[in-house]
Structure 1
Amino acid sequence: MTLHMVKLCVGADDVGDLEAWQRRLMTRHPAPLHHTRMVPKQIDELLDGGSIYWVIKGVIQVRQAFTDIRVIDDRNGQRACELVFEPELVAVEPMPKRPFQGWRYLKPKDAPADLKAGRGGDDIPPDLHAKLKEAMVW
């Protein structure tokens, strides 16, 4: 059964910051990846069509499909993890998300839908879009 992950994109002000960070990373690696000290217990479910949903400035804004999750040893010989993603960032319906540490699993039924191109309102900032949606006026 597919499972997703939600993670804070610390230090990013917008999706452009995430894109730039991943472009720089891809000069040294063939695909975007993220190192984390903790190893997910449900790797098989995440790799069964799962994505990471990035929270930027308190709002889930984009997702990336997982291509691999590697258990590695870090520089200190401790068990760690590399989350490897598809390069494409897929815009999703903005969804507010309170701060948290680490990551959270996300069931497919609870995941925000992908934004469809040409729907209108694409020029609205994601945080405003999320507030309008939360107030049920969008």
Structure 2
Amino acid sequence: MLHMIKLAVGCPTIDALKERMKSPRFRGYGAITTRTMPKRADEILDGGSLYRVLNGLILCRQPIVGLEPYERQDGSTGTLILVSDDIIPVQARAMRPFQGWRYLKAEDAPADLGAISDGIAELPPRLHRILSELALC
């Protein structure tokens, strides 16, 4: 299994990401546009997730349900990353900005927070960063 990681530019919180995922939709799923089709698509579609970076922190993931080609406005081909509406909080981890998306090996992915940590996902990003730097979340 292989994951992807992508910045959620302009989404300061998980709640803002939930709102953003309401549109665009494709076949009933949230759709994230990107230029290139992953060469390792089979590995990603075998249970992979899209990990999201919000304000410099990996804060959550969404299970990937499909990868679909589409035609961009300029006539070139792009890819829609189709994700579940389930947004699963993960242990916060700092991540520097990057363009596009990256592969994320399963062993390198942050762990899910789980039910015991309810409420941590709603903390302000600044507090998430501080707790993450102290290895407390």
TM-score category (smaller protein): 0.7 to 0.9
Counterpart CA distance in 1 for 2:19 and 2:87 is: 12
Q: 1:61·1:126 contact (CA, 8 Å) conserved in 2? A: no
Aligned residues of 1:94 and 1:127 also touching (Cα < 8 A): no
Q: Distance in 2 between matches of 1:107 and 1:25?
A: 27
Unpaired runs of 5+ residues, structure 1, are none
Q: Partner residue of 1:3?
A: 2
Deviations 1:89-127 (A, max 9, x none): 001111110111111111011100011113366254344
Change beyond 3 A, Cα 1:90–1:130: same
Alpha-carbon distance, 1:134 to partner: 2.4
TM-score where L is the length of structure 1: 0.87
Pick aligned residue for 2:41 from 40, 43, 53? 43
Correspondent of 1:54 among 52, 55, 80:
52
In 2, are the aligned partners of 1:3 and 1:46 still within 8 Å (CA)? yes
Paired-residue identity, %: 38
In structure 2, the partner of 1:77 is: 75
**Aligned residue identity for 2:87:** L
Cα distance in 2 for residues equivalent to 1:69 and 1:108 = 19
Query: CA shift at 1:37, angstroms?
Result: 1.4
- Inter-partner Cα distance in structure 2 for 1:38 and 1:63: 20
CA distance in 2, matches of 1:81, 1:30: 16
CA distance in 2: counterparts of 1:18 and 1:119, whole angstroms: 20
| 2:32 counterpart residue number | 34
What is the TM-score of this pair, normalised by structure 2? 0.87
CA distance in 1: counterparts of 2:102 and 2:6, whole angstroms: 7
Three-state SS of the structure 1 residue aligned to 2:116 is coil
Aligned-residue Cα RMSD (Å) equals 2.0
Distance 1:47 1:127, change over 3 A: farther
Instruction: State how 1:17-28 maps to structure 2 within 5 Å.
Output: 17-26=16-25
Structure 1 position 94 matched with structure 2 position 92: yes
